[in-house]
Amino acid sequence: MDRVKIVKYSPWLVHFNTGACNGCDIEVLAAITPHYDPERFGVKLAPSVRHGDVLIVTGAVTKKAGERLKRLYEQMPEPKFVVAVGACACSGGVFSGSYSVLAGADKVVKVDMYIPGCPPRPEAILDGIVKLLKKLDGGEGGEGGDGKPSGSA
C-alpha cells in the first residue's frame, strides 16, 4: 500500500502551537477526544513527529517559532500535509504586523488546508481534515477548491 493511501485512511496528527493564545489548541484537543470520534476517519495523534502525516499549526507564527516549525516539518516523513487552524495560523490574525510575528504558517511551510475561525469549532477542524483527505483522492477540496477560505481568515 502506498504512503498516500496510508495517510488517507489513517492520518496521524502532529500539533504545534506557533504562538496561539490556547483558544485554538483547546479546540484541537477537543476535536481528538472520543466525544467527536475522530478515529472514525482514522485520525489520531502521532506518537512522535517522525510518525506524523498531518501537521496541525495553531497561532500566529512568531519569528522564534518559525524556525521550530520548519524543523518539525522537515522531520516528518513524505508525504506530509499542513493544516492551519484558526485565523492566526491562516494569516497572522490580529497579531499580523506585530514586530515579532511573521504572520500565517504559510510564511514558513506549504499549507494544504486553511480552517478559519477564532477559534474554529472542533467540528470545523475535523471537517477541514476530512476535506484534506478528499483532496488526496483528487476529490473536492475546501472552499475555493484549493483549501483556502473564500473570505479573509
Which one of residues 55, 61, 69, 87 is an interface residue with ligand SF4 (CB under 6 A)?
A: 87
The amino acid present at 99, given as its one-letter code, is: Y
| Single-letter residue type at 78 | E
Reference 131, options 121, 110, 145; nearest CA is: 145
C-alpha span between 113 and 121 (Å, rounded) = 15
Q: Judge whether 91 and 117 are in contact, CB under 8 Å.
A: no
Query: Can you tell me which of 7, 21, 76, 108 binds ligand SF4, judged by CB under 6 A?
Result: 21
Stretch that binds ligand SF4, among 31-39, 41-49, 86-94, 134-142 (CB under 6 A): 86-94
Q: How far is the CB of 57 from ligand SF4 (least distance, A)?
A: 10
Tell me which of 38, 66, 119, 128 binds ligand SF4, using CB under 6 A: 119
Pick between residue 38 and residue 117 the one whose CB is nearest to ligand SF4: 117
Question: Which region, judged by CB under 6 A, interacts with ligand SF4, from 44-52, 62-70, 84-92, 140-148?
Answer: 84-92
Contacting residues toward ligand SF4, per CB under 6 A: 20-21, 23-24, 58-59, 86-88, 93, 118-119
